[in-house]
Amino acid sequence: MPVELNAPYDHVVLISIDTLRSDALSCNPMKLWPHKYSGVRPVRTTVLDELAGSGAYFPNVISAAPYTAAAHGAIFSGQYPLHNGLHEFYNGSLRAPTVFTYGRRAGRATVLKTDFPIILGSQLGYTRDIDTYIVEDDDSFIEAVIEADQSVACAHFGAVHSPYGFHNLAFGGDAYREKVAELTAELPKSLPFTDLLVESYRDPEDTELLVRYKRAIAYLHAEGQYDRLFQIYLDGVQHFLESRFAHFVERLRERMAAADRRMLLVVFADHGEEFDERTNGHFNSMAEAVLRVPLIIVGDDVAPAVHRNRVRTIDIAPTVLDLAGIPAPATGVFDGRSLAPVVRGAEKLSGDAPAIAEAYTSELNEFVTFQQRQLAGQQPGALRHYLVGHTAYLEDRRVVRLTRQYSEWFQQMQSTEMAWVERFDESSVPRRDPADDGADLLAALDDYRTALREPDQVSFTDEIRGQLRALGYSV
């Protein structure tokens, strides 16, 4: 029976691959890493390459933040972090309506599966408007989606994040143990304090392995072994895709076909990973490779094509809702714009979209203490956050302004004041432009930060509440 194009999709399935930089994909036509790392071999990303070849592939998508919490908030809401209530690394709550909010209002079941329940959980507002919340269970996610007549669902995978490729013992098994043993065999007996933060709940052996892995990565970074670190990261991408992700995608598609369901599949990342003198990983970084992520959209009425111009992760929510035919306010809610006409092949993507990204983090020792109290069931108190850096994009330029940076081994956060302009060449590689002061771009950052100002207090009447609900807000 022929498929009716532009008919509603039964299921909208978002797939988030945490920490997947855009040019980790073999099919990426605008790679950054070969210009930076030497002696690094590319890895197989077959399942993602095949998805990209069968759908609308955007290799130049700018994330609104270089860490999981704020990045996902922007993706799900279509709003920049300062507008949706969740801009800091681990503080605030996602207040804005999301794709799940609109899906539920349209009568669809909503499902969220995450590998990072401490981050993408109730603490930061991610369980709101979710009917079924699943932790680290890929098969249960597929079953929950299939059991619904219609759904808006997201499966979040954390295994590309450190420990690269493994996530935990349940998924990594002996291969994970062997990798930790290999990396730690060369470590000195005494090393400084290292990152003890966790994103998921772990038993003692799992926690010990994670800490040992992180210590090894921190040591290699302190030794300046950036090429080796990047190879470890890429190898982790391939291991995850081949040991876990390819099976998940195959199983999901098989179940959809067997149930005769029409699916819109949307694959993206929240941020990437980078290693150099200033960056060890992602969360305190404004590096282009950290902020540039992939987006792949596959569906019956999607025109396969590669769209190289810059778009933003805030464009994902309005695009998905538009493609799925799920009602949402046409104006006044989204900072992003719908790319649906481009995805369907009705329009060409012209020009590079302007974009903004910011990073707010805390002193690592304060964060560790806060999280340990929280996981012990205690009142964790307040966690101070600081603006670390931000960037603004306009046409073929971007400005980077840093205000704080971590010392080696994350011992403490140091104040700094530096800014520079980068210009993208024909291959979309950023090159510093010392002749450009970036005044217009810096002004754009200052304008964006006015959202942090406390508004004048206004009485919240039933009339105002009704008006906000009419615009799509949950109040």
Task: Report pLDDT digits (tens) over 161-193.
Answer: 999 999 999 999 999 999 999 999 988 887 765
pTM of the model: 0.91
> What per-residue confidence (pLDDT) applies to 455?
44
Task: Report the length, in residues, of the chain.
Answer: 475
Q: What is the DSSP letter of 243?
A: I
Question: What's the token pair of residue 201?
Answer: 């709940």
Could you tell me the domains of the chain?
11-161+227-350 (3.40.720.10), 356-470 (no CATH)
Task: Indicate the residue type of 71.
Answer: A
> What per-residue confidence (pLDDT) applies to 464?
52
Q: Nearest CA to 153 among 326, 316, 343, 13? A: 13
> What per-residue confidence (pLDDT) applies to 285?
92
> What per-residue confidence (pLDDT) applies to 410?
57
Task: Indicate the residue type of 161.
Answer: H
On whether the CB atoms of residues 189 and 147 are closer than 8 A, the answer is no
Question: What's the token pair of residue 232?
Answer: 């470890």
> What per-residue confidence (pLDDT) applies to 407?
59
Going through 63-199 in order, the beta strands assigned E by DSSP cover 109-114, 132-135, 151-157
Question: What's the token pair of residue 349?
Answer: 């993507």
> What per-residue confidence (pLDDT) applies to 4?
47
> What per-residue confidence (pLDDT) applies to 458?
44
> What per-residue confidence (pLDDT) applies to 199?
80
Provide the 3-class DSSP secondary structure of residue 305. Answer: strand
- The list of the chain residues with pLDDT below 50 reads 1-4, 455-460, 471-473, 475
CA 325 – CA 343 distance, rounded (Å): 14
Residue 33 phi, psi dihedral angles, 5° rounding: -65, -30
